[in-house]
Amino acid sequence: AARSNLLRIGREDLLDRLKQEGVRAEAGSYTPWSVHIRDLKQPVIELDSYKQGLFYLQNEGSMLAAALLEPPPGGLVYDLGAGVGGKSTHVAEMTGDRGRVIAVERHSHKLELLKANCRRLGINHVTPLQSDILQLEPDLPQAERVLLDAPCSGWGVLNRRADARWRLSQEEVKNLPQLQFRLLQAAAGLLKPDGLLLYSTCTFNPAENEQVVARFLKEAPFAVQGFAEKISFFPLTAEDIEAARRGCLTLRPGRYQCDGMFYALLRRLGHE
């Protein structure tokens, strides 16, 4: 799937443009930004529309993150575990590139790709920061929004990354919830009172998802925030709409034609 770049083009105009380039594509049914590329005669990175930053390749399950965060224009957002910038760039697009996104990633090669993606998409307000999330400088400014895309077992993406099942041993998977809990604690420290923290994984393992969130809520001044209305465009089942109203949602690959994802939206209690 591809995500139309809100700063440069609408989805219908993107579909017209792709058609002119000989690409067979159609509107995605899960989000207002998604396009499914069905057939093309050249590598996607050779398309003029790609080079001009009219779209970004991203799974539809991942496109929900920016919609759930609802970043305020002019506000500060942290993207922790930013990778190559899929979610950072979407957040920036949603603010009209008028806010500030600090994209935290420990691997320098991913940050170089993130910078290249920002240049291609015409995004100026994403600041890359190379750091381990658990070793961030203590004097960083607090933000209105924090996204934590936590390292996980990756069970939700095995359909397209079959090698993921061999990357982690059973022992490593067993140790992940402790790491995820510590990362949530670090993310919480970056958030202003009344701000929103989105915890995200690409697994459907409850030990890494609901159980980590439940443990965090026992120790931190946060409450779960329902979000069904924020993603009313996504064709959730009745069961999943109810889960989203409670503030935690698992997208299962067998139920939806996208990556398996988990989202929990948490609001920091108190006022500035």
118 is known as an active-site residue: no
Three-state secondary structure string covering the chain: CEEECCCCCCHHHHHHHHHHCCCEEEECCCCCCEEEEEECCCCHHHCHHHHCCCEEECCCCCCHHHHHHCCCCCCEEEEECCCCCHHHHHHHHHCCCCCEEEEEECCHHHHHHHHHHHHHHCCCCEEEEECCHHHCCCCCCCEEEEEEECCCCCHHHCCCCCCHHHHCCHHHHHHHHHHHHHHHHHHHCCEEEEEEEEEEECCCCCCCCHHHHHHHHHHCCEEECCCHHHHCCCCCCHHHHHHHHHCEEEECCCCCCCCCEEEEEEEECCCC
Structure tokens at 48: 């003029």
Structure tokens at 37: 């590329």
Task: Tell me how far apart the alpha carbons of residues 115 and 245 are, in angstroms, rounded to a whole number.
Answer: 35
The dihedral sign for the CA sequence 137, 138, 143, 147: positive
Catalytic residues: 202
